[in-house]
Structure 1
């Protein structure tokens, strides 16, 4: 038996509890991992609270990522004792996830933990940092460099946004952070933001084309914010879109794309090919020593995850939440 978070839905309604289950209750997979750390992402918070239909089958262990040590393997790629990590692939939605002391998954969903990153540091980065790095690599693949000008980050105090600000700064970019949290200006400045704007400047309906301000952007907000960002990107610039905190809609026009040559780059972190995952984590390992993690991550227990999920959805959590599943 081992400890986990479990989400149930039956005639009594939707509920999440911290409980114990047997390995036989796990999903199918050819690698059994002793989980050391997981995280609390926006999608995890939706799953735990039931605020959105994230979970596809019940009961379910939430948790879209984890780090740990291989306990049993039927794969030639991983052996007992290997340190591994996982992000996405429907884990925590339709396959038992990482907010548990054990997880059984398919070997091709795992990648080896980079040697310079500990399991705790890996989940301090988590899907949020991994997604932020995918965004930045996509911008660079599209030709964006630090000399091109300022890069905007929306939702800057969230998990993805915090990492985008930090990583862009470490890579030499001048970063403009957009946030609705005036009390978090020092936090964003410490991460590396050189300028901070109020999210209200971007969240209301805008014009098809607006003043050219930024060379590129990382957007985790969507809706009117993403439309206004696209309308304000300089000629030939690019926007990496990875979230929908404001909404799934995109009330925009084609004007920025056909008149300014702006590129809108969709970033999926869930089903990303392994080569892209390895490249992103390699870059993260190079850029983020342990000292960089301490200002972003808070470590909590499994039991605390339920309350923390509501706080995250209410915007009461800044930065990253790491879950020590063995605490």
Structure 2
């Protein structure tokens, strides 16, 4: 009887330990995907509400820009980096500084390599494999930042040519990063300049997600002219939600040279589905798309009509953003 009681007591202790240990396991993983949704280390769901900032081209503007973006209510910023293939490389020291500034402003940081933009169509663009080489070079700046940083492997990694290999190349990039010890949530952009008009990411996403040994990959669609009506917006996003696959809108605007995106539908649909969005972009646009600046000349006091819409309009950032729990906001599940 004594031995049996000891065994029973041991079993009860083991059960209680299991019940109380499971939540603390989240604390070791940082951001992670659960049931098709992005969660923080404490288990609370996190919905991104923020903007893109062109750090690589305007490094001197970054400290003030991050403070200004936060002051308007954002909880996340997507930061442009360069691997050195098209623009000056942002080295580990620079990236560590950016992460520190994001944390100081209580902003979750999505870091992306921009040199992959339009690969296969844009002659100077580089492959996802080259982007992974860069992430490995700056890994020291990212270790231990899993609670604060998501790694967006490569911006718009295929243009409109030879994009059918998106799934295989994306899975290979994920595999290399995981093998090297990256435990972060990995964000992967769609092909077709991010807009996936071909449905390639849509059809290959389940296989890509299954290829991640950590099951911690978040898909990102960029919504410009292809998404010029509410049906196009909802059909794409609802497919991922229905399939239990994590999705966010990593870029979008109120206008574009390839058509007029329905920004009202993007904002309303992401809010109704509980999905994240990051508008393009804070300031510094050129090449005929300067209308996508949210403020003029990085001046907080010079909001453009696009800036007013995304920050202060219906379903906008000020109305819907909740600060990350790691900074004291939100609530644990």
**TM-score between the two structures when normalised by the length of structure 2:** 0.27
Which has the larger share of strand?
A: 1
